[in-house]
Amino acid sequence: MLTIESLTCWLVDIPTVRPHKLSMATMGCQTLTLVRMQCAEGVVGWGEATTIGGLSYGAESPEAIRSAMETYLAPLLCGQRFSGVASLAEKMNASVKGNTFAKSALETAFLDAQGKLLGLPVSALLGGALCERLPVLWTLASGDTGKDIEEGKRLLAEGRHDTFKLKIGARSLKTDIAHALAIKAALGDAVSVRVDVNQAWDFTTAVNGMRQLQDGGIDLVEQPIPLWDRAGLIALSQRFTLPVLADEAVATGHDGYALASGGFTGAYALKIAKAGGPAQALKLAHIAQAAGVALYGGTMLEGTLGTVASLHAWSTVNLQWGTEMFGPLLLKDDVVTQPLSFSDGQVTLPQGPGLGVEIDEEKLRYYARH
C-alpha cells in the first residue's frame, strides 16, 4: 500500500545529438515531462511522459501533460492510498478521460515508489523479467541519404547497432523509396532495415510503396496509413509478405482486439505513453500474444526514466521484433546519475529497486524550463 502525499512536475528541455526528421516534424530538442511522487511511507517515485514534436504528432503536448497532472490528477490522487497500479489506474480513469501520457508518468512513478518500498525492480511487479538485456535498433532520420548511410556504417563498425529504422513519408513516394532502398543496399543483406511512415500515406500509395519496399528487402513497415483506417491496415497486412507494424492504430487492448479479430496479421508496437503506463501497455501485449500477433517495444523518444520504465515492461514478454528504446542516445544529456548501458545492439535492464535509476538533481535544475 502507498499513500501519495505530493506530486511535483517539471518540463525539461534537452537538445538532440542531431536533427531527427519525421514525416510531421523535425526535432532538434526533446521535452521531457517529469513528475516526482512523494509517498507517506518515505519513498519517492519518478515518472516521465514524453511526446514527439509537440502537437504535430498527437493530442497531448508537454505543456498539456503537465497541466493535466497539476490541475486534475494531483488533487485527485494526493492524500489517497492505493494497493497497486490497478486501483491507481481505476481512480484516474474514472475521473479523467484520455490523457494517457500524463497517466503513464504517474503509473511509472507509482511503480518506482512501490518497487523501492518492497526492494524489488519494477519488472518483478509486472510479472518478472525474462531477460536482462534487450535488443535495440537505431533510427536513421537525418533526412539525408548519404549522411544516413555514413551513420549506419559507423554504428555497425562500432558494434553498437545492427538493426535500423528509417523515417519516411515527408517527401514524395519516389524519393522516399529511393532513399530507403539506397540505405538498404549500402548496409547489406545481413542488416535488418525497417521503415516508419508515421501515417503519411493513403491506402493506394501504401500499396505501391509496400510493393517496392518488399522487393527491395525491407523487413517491416510501420503505420503506413492513418490510424483511423483500420480496414486498410488489415488489408495491407494480408496483401503482402512484408509485415505491417501497427503503432498509432493500437493504443489499448481494445484496439488490439479489434485489429486482431478483423484479421490483422502483422505486429503491434507497444508504448507505455499511448496505453497509460507500463502495466496498461502489457494488457495490449497479452491480447496480441493470445491472438498470435507479434510484438515490438516502441518509444516516444523518452529520456532514461521513460525508457527504463518501458524496458521493465518489455522484459516480461517475448518481443519478436525487438525494441527501439534508443531515446537516451538521441539526447545530448540526461537528468540521471548513471546512463543506461548500450552495447552490441542491446541495452541492459537496471536491476536496482524500482526503476533502478537515480535523478541528478543538479542537471534537473539546469535543464528544467523556468
User: Catalytic residue positions?
Assistant: 167, 324
The 10 Å Cβ neighbour count of residue 263 is 11
Which of 113, 116, 115, 92 is closest to 38 using CA atoms?
113
Residue with the three cell numbers 481512480:
91
CA angle 283, 285, 288 (to 5 degrees): 115
Q: How far apart are CA 312 and CA 358, in angstroms?
A: 15
The 10 Å Cβ neighbour count of residue 245 is 27
Query: In angstroms, what CA-CA distances link 190 with 7, 163, 186?
Result: 48, 9, 11
Helix (H) or strand (E) holding 331: none
Which of 97, 77, 12 is closest to 50 using CA atoms?
12
The 10 Å Cβ neighbour count of residue 289 is 15
Q: How far apart are CA 208 and CA 203, in angstroms?
A: 9
Q: In whole angstroms, what separates CA 154 from the centre of its chain?
A: 25
Residue with the three cell numbers 516534424:
25
Name all contacts of 70-79 with Cβ < 8 Å and 24+ positions apart.
70/7, 70/9, 72/96, 72/99, 73/7, 73/99, 73/102, 73/103, 73/106, 74/6, 74/7, 77/4, 77/7, 77/106, 78/4, 78/5, 78/6, 78/7, 79/3, 79/4, 79/5
Q: How far apart are CA 43 and CA 3, in angstroms?
A: 10
Q: How far apart are CA 99 and CA 27, in angstroms?
A: 23
Bridge partners (DSSP) listed for residue 193: 164
301: left (phi over 0), alpha (psi -120 to 50) or beta: left
